[in-house]
């Protein structure tokens, strides 16, 4: 089959590489436009998918507007039988409905659970013990198309969103290849999603990431690991934003005279929730770089 692949970050590179290694016929790669960034915003940065595609000699398209007539014409000229989407942006119908077989997407959850932009983060935040990946055919409403296949993935009690992301990247690539093989062999059957099982995973903003300490230590701990390493849970210390990347939780009864924050000024920083505390290991105070708790306390006196 003639395949057009669409994706942007490292997460998508794993799937593209799996297809290339399997000698699939990738006739085009659609990815984000180059952007200026780095120090001073003067360096032109390419997406991870573009770097990989160029290295492998694949044809690359970087449309600013997915509805632009010149892009639609060029996409049609590729004569794709099927399109694959992994970590890309929302497609207009004129794009996803173009190939005769259709367009399928890899989503980071066991749909219809965690539809939306941040399925990995919300699964960890909610204390789920299992998640997975789903391939499904695109249709009008986001993440609602018929399911082709799924793979499950356990979430460990101390796994961060970053760990789940990396594990999911590998099994997601396997599922993309399996899905293409099954489509080529004519052995797939897609099934509608059960609307009774739907849950949402909305986009996460800076305001979403503030820690609420007036809840159980389990919920606080899950919140921190569900936002680590990005976009990172935060609280305030001496009226400055304090990002917490890693920590350990300790369940313990809290008495009326227990302070909210405890530290020996040398080796530990403890912040209390309702039934225990987080002992912070890795953090970043506003205006400084990320550092260990020991390095932080060596150069910072808590008021």
Per run of 10 residues, the mean pLDDT along the chain (length 303 residues) is 97 98 98 87 91 98 97 98 97 97 98 98 98 97 96 98 98 98 95 97 96 97 98 96 97 87 94 96 96 95 81
Q: What is the pLDDT of residue 303?
A: 73
The confidence score (pLDDT) of residue 43 equals 86
Report the relative pairing of strands 60-61 and 43-45 from DSSP bridges. Answer: unpaired
The contacts found for 181-188 with CB under 8 angstroms, 24 or more apart, are 182/148, 182/149, 183/1, 183/82, 183/101, 183/148, 184/1, 188/148, 188/149
**pTM score, whole prediction:** 0.95
Note if the bond before 226 is cis, omega within 30 degrees.
Answer: no
Residue 226: per-residue pLDDT:
98
43 vs 232: CA distance, rounded Å:
25
The single residue listed with the structure tokens 């910072």 is 300
Answer whether 261's CB lies under 8 Å from 269's CB: yes
Exposed / middle / buried, residue 200 (Cβ in 10 Å: 0-12, 13-18, 19+): middle
User: What pLDDT is attached to residue 167?
Assistant: 98
Tokens linked to 155: 């979430």
């Amino acid at each position: 089959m003639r395949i057009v692949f669409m994706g942007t970050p490292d997460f998508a590179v794993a799937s593209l590489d799996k297809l290339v290694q399997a000698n699939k016929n990738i006739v085009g790669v659609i990815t984000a436009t180059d952007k200026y960034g780095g120090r001073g915003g003067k360096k032109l940065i390419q997406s991870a998918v573009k770097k990989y595609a160029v290295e492998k000699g694949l044809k690359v398209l970087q449309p600013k507007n997915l509805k632009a007539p010149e892009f639609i014409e060029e996409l049609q000229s590729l004569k794709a039988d099927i399109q694959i989407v992994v970590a890309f942006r929302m497609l207009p119908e004129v794009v996803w409905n173009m190939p005769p077989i259709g367009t399928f997407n890899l989503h980071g959850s066991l749909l219809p659970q965690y539809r939306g932009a941040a399925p990995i983060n919300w699964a960890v935040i909610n204390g789920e013990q299992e998640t997975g990946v789903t391939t499904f055919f695109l249709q009008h409403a986001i993440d609602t198309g018929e399911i082709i296949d799924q793979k499950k993935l356990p979430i460990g009690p101390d796994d961060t969103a970053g760990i789940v992301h990396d594990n999911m990247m590998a099994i997601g690539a396997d599922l993309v290849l399996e899905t293409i093989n099954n489509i080529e062999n004519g052995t797939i059957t897609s099934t509608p999603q059960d609307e009774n099982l739907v849950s949402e995973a909305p986009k996460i903003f800076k305001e979403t990431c503030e820690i609420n300490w007036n809840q159980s230590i389990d919920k606080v701990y899950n919140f921190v690991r569900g936002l680590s390493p990005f976009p990172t849970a935060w609280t305030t210390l001496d009226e400055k934003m304090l990002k917490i990347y890693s920590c350990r939780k300790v369940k313990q009864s809290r008495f009326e005279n227990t302070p909210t924050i405890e530290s020996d000024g040398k080796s530990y920083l403890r912040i209390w929730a309702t039934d225990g505390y987080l002992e912070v290991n890795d953090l970043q105070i506003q205006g400084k770089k990320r550092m260990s708790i020991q390095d932080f306390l060596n150069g910072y006196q808590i008021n």
